[in-house]
């Protein structure tokens, strides 16, 4: 199997196998998409809508519609965009509800992380041929610009109350990383250079300035002056959105984004830092006994969370492909095949489709819930599309 992982047909078939887990049962005819599933595809929760998941479904349908030229999937892109506009968007404030339940907003907090996925969703929709979404790209950029952008630091704030009155002092790299991803997508959708320039600014400020405060690696958490907060969530290293420790999956995800930027608008530091991030992630977090990449490691280099998360493996094989092609060093193809082989053996659900969510260090599932809130296999299918785009 190892020789086929970078084969175009293999990647296309894997995307189809993963998408078939969700389509068409994920479509709620009343609006949006059902988001929470067991391994066999049984829908656990029909009422909860998380902003990130709503956006990620728009992404997965957009990519499928564009790549495979499927008009039915394009229809579902419009279905997803309509739900964002009619339910998540607060037309009075311009913000987006974080969580909706039974059609009612239960958490209206504005998260930069969420808005970055809104921007990614609209950008993906435009790529799939939904021209009406182009104005929403600019609208969302303006919301980020007016409320989250911190000119002094050249980065985004993280969390603001629903009425925009209270800005949390917490600063995080994750929201900025996904904002960078979304800005690249917005540039690809519009060819507007301002999105590319914003992506470059974010990338440099996180991957150079901020990383240099943490030994040349990307720490997750900062105070309101963008100084490293080494203690944030130290007692909660498994926190879903803000785990403590260095995140190998984010280091490799930054490697991928830096190589993407370098293909569009190269700068010498990008490849150098991408190599450093990827190499240290594999050095510290690859599990030579059980396979796969562990979730987190501490500042002293020891693994602090040995679980195996689906998205870490997916982002890392996409990064490895970018590294292999961008550097010409075949060791990255070796990593690509090694990560894929692990994922194929343990993470991919060959029976029902899509990937399992989280495994123990020795690769045992925690539960039969495949898709908790936030997981739509955007990472896994997105990684396959990313590899297809550069093969």
Average pLDDT over residues 369-378: 91
Q: Number of folded domains in the chain? A: 1
Under DSSP, the state recorded for 222 is E
Average pLDDT over residues 1-21: 90
Distances (CA, A) of 44 to 38, 125, 173, 359, 364: 7, 28, 32, 20, 21
Which residues, 6+ apart, have CB-to-CB distance to 160 below 8 Å? 95, 109, 110, 147, 148, 166, 167, 168
For 240-259, write each residue's pLDDT tens digit: 889 999 999 999 999 999 99
Which residue from 253, 248, 255 is spatially nearest to 272, judged by alpha carbons?
255
Under DSSP, the state recorded for 269 is H
The pLDDT, as a whole number, for residue 2 is 47
d(CA 302, CA 321): 27
Under DSSP, the state recorded for 211 is G
* Residue 221, both tokens: 């958490």
User: Is residue 1 situated within a structural domain?
Assistant: no
d(CA 67, CA 75): 15
Residue 3 has pLDDT above 80, yes or no: no
User: Is residue 118 situated within a structural domain?
Assistant: yes
User: Is residue 36 situated within a structural domain?
Assistant: yes
The pLDDT, as a whole number, for residue 171 is 98
Residue 328 has pLDDT above 80, yes or no: yes
For 141-187, write each residue's pLDDT tens digit: 999 999 999 999 999 999 999 999 999 999 999 999 999 999 999 99
For 34-45, write each residue's pLDDT tens digit: 999 999 999 999
User: Is residue 88 situated within a structural domain?
Assistant: yes
Catalytic pick among 79, 87, 111, 379: 379
For 76-91, write each residue's pLDDT tens digit: 999 999 999 999 999 9
The pLDDT, as a whole number, for residue 375 is 92
Of 85-99, 155-169, 198-212, 366-380, the poorest mean pLDDT is in 366-380
Catalytic pick among 250, 290, 322, 350: 250
* Residue 169, both tokens: 């002092």
Q: Burial, 381: exposed, middle or buried (Cβ in 10 Å; 0-12, 13-18, 19+)?
A: buried
pLDDT grade, residue 1 (50/70/90)?
Answer: very low
User: Is residue 3 situated within a structural domain?
Assistant: no
Q: Contact, 37 vs 367, CB < 8 A?
A: no
**Whole-number mean pLDDT of the chain?**
97
d(CA 290, CA 77): 39
* Residue 56, both tokens: 């990620």
User: Is residue 302 situated within a structural domain?
Assistant: yes
Known catalytic membership, residue 42: no
User: Is residue 174 situated within a structural domain?
Assistant: yes
* Residue 240, both tokens: 């879903």
d(CA 352, CA 336): 24
DSSP E strands, the chain:
36-38, 43-45, 48-50, 99-101, 104-107, 110-111, 149-150, 155-156, 159-160, 171-172, 221-222, 296-297, 303-305, 308-309, 358-359, 369-371
Which residues, 6+ apart, have CB-to-CB distance to 41 below 8 Å? 21, 25, 352, 353
For 289-310, write each residue's pLDDT tens digit: 999 999 999 999 999 999 999 9
Q: Contact, 254 vs 318, CB < 8 A?
A: no
d(CA 100, CA 185): 26
DSSP E strands, 67-132:
99-101, 104-107, 110-111
| 3-class SS of residue 207 | helix
pLDDT grade, residue 239 (50/70/90)?
Answer: confident
Which residue from 260, 265, 279, 271 is spatially nearest to 217, judged by alpha carbons?
279
DSSP string of 337-356, one letter each residue = HHHHHHIIIIIB-TTTSSB-
Looking up residue 111, the CATH number of its domain turns out to be 1.50.10.10
Known catalytic membership, residue 350: no
pLDDT grade, residue 374 (50/70/90)?
Answer: confident
* Residue 293, both tokens: 């990449």
User: Is residue 191 situated within a structural domain?
Assistant: yes
| Boundaries of domain holding 216 | 8-390
Which residues, 6+ apart, have CB-to-CB distance to 110 below 8 Å? 95, 96, 98, 147, 159, 160, 161, 162, 164
Between residues 111 and 236, which one has the greater pLDDT?
111
């Amino acid at each position: 199997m190892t020789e086929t992982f970078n084969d175009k047909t293999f990647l296309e078939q894997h995307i189809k196998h993963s998408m078939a887990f969700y389509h068409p049962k994920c479509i709620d005819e009343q609006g949006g998409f059902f988001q929470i599933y067991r391994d066999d595809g049984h829908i656990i929760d029909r009422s909860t809508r998380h902003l990130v998941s709503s956006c990620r479904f728009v992404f997965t349908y957009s990519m499928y519609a564009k790549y495979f030229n499927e008009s039915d999937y394009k229809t579902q892109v419009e279905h997803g965009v309509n739900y964002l506009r009619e339910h998540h968007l607060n037309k009075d404030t311009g913000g987006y509800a974080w969580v909706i339940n039974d059609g009612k907003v239960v958490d209206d907090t504005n998260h930069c992380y969420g808005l970055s996925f809104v921007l990614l969703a609209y950008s993906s929709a435009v790529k799939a041929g939904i021209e009406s979404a182009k104005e929403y790209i600019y609208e969302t950029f303006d919301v980020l610009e007016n409320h989250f952008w911190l000119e002094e630091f050249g980065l985004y704030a993280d969390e603001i109350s629903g009425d925009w009155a209270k800005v949390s002092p917490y600063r995080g790299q994750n929201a900025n990383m996904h904002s960078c991803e979304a800005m690249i997508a917005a540039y690809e959708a519009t060819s507007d250079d301002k999105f590319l320039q914003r992506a470059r600014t974010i990338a440099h400020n996180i991957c150079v300035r901020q990383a240099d405060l943490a030994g040349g690696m990307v720490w997750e958490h900062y105070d309101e002056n963008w100084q490293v907060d080494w203690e944030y969530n130290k007692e909660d290293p498994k926190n879903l959105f803000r785990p403590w420790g260095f995140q190998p999956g984010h280091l490799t995800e930054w490697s991928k984004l830096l190589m993407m930027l370098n293909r569009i608008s190269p700068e010498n530091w990008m490849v150098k830092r991408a190599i450093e991030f990827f190499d240290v992630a594999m050095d510290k977090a690859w599990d030579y006994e059980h396979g796969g990449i562990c979730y987190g490691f501490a500042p002293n280099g020891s693994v602090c969370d040995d679980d195996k998360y689906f998205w870490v493996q997916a982002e890392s094989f996409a990064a490895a492909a970018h590294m292999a092609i961008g550097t010409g060093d075949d060791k990255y193809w070796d990593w690509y095949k090694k990560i894929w082989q692990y994922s194929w053996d343990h993470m991919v659900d060959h029976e029902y489709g899509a990937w399992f969510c989280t495994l123990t260090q020795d690769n045992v599932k925690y539960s039969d819930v495949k898709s908790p809130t936030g997981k739509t296999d955007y990472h896994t299918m997105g990684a396959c599309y990313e590899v297809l785009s550069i093969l």
